[in-house]
Structure formats: structure tokens, C-alpha cells
Amino acid sequence: MRQVTAPGLALIQQFEGFSPVIYTCPAGYLTIGYGHVIRAEENFSDGIDRRWAEELLKRDLRIAEAAVLRLITVPLSDGQFDALVSFTFNLGAGALQRSTLRRKVNRSEHASAADEFHRWVYASGRKLPGLIRRRAAEAALYRS
């Protein structure tokens, strides 16, 4: 299965940030490491180190990578794939599936597809500066 490249992984890590302890993300989920949403059966009461966080991230990314491969029907450059994986990891496969972004990508309308990233900058009804920066970076990666 195709995997996110090193630049894509670095972008995701940059925007997710590393936390060795549990925190609540802007969408309200208990999270740890590089954006790992904690499941009911998981216990991170002692926190985690970067190595463990990177392993969790790579496992979590498999879900986003598989979703992009399932939902996108046209060939993608590494930058396009990585940007879509970052988007999907952050927002979920459902967001990609119902998005105009996906429809434009699948019609090979890549220039206008890149502009669609900028529409996804809200969490819990609030426009977040971090999401504005992330979507700009994803759009730039998509265009690369």
C-alpha cells in the first residue's frame, strides 16, 4: 500500500505537534502524541515518548492512506497524496468523501482542487489560525 512520504509525515507532525501527555484537541477528543485519538481500551496515564508517538502516528496514518487510495480514482503525485493524507488524518475519511475537494481531484481539476483546502479551517464552529496555516501548507504541498 502507498504510504505518505517523509515530507508529508513531517508536515503532519509539525501541525499535530507532540504531546507526551493526554490533552483535549480543539474538536473535543482526548488525544496524545501526534494527534492520536485515544480509544476506550487504551491507557496512557503514564504518558508516551516520541518513539511511541511516531509508531502510533504511522499506524493511524494507514487508515488515512487507505481512505485516500479508496476515494481518489486518479493518479496522484507524492505531494498531492501527502496533502490529501494530512487532510484526511486531520478531518477523517468522511470529510474527504463528501468534499468538493475530492470531486475536483477525481476530475483532475488540480488547480482548483488545491483551493478547496482553504475551506476547511473551522473546528466546533470557530475559524482556527492553526487550521488556516495547516490548510495553506497542505495546499502548497498539493501544488508541489
The single residue of 16, 65, 116, 138 carrying the catalytic annotation is 16
For the question of residue 25 being annotated catalytic, the response is yes
Residue 21, all three cell numbers: 501527555
Report how far residue 122's alpha carbon sits from residue 128's, in angstroms, rounded to the nearest whole number. Answer: 6
Report how far residue 128's alpha carbon sits from residue 92's, in angstroms, rounded to the nearest whole number. Answer: 18
For the question of residue 54 being annotated catalytic, the response is no
Residues carrying an active site annotation: 16, 25
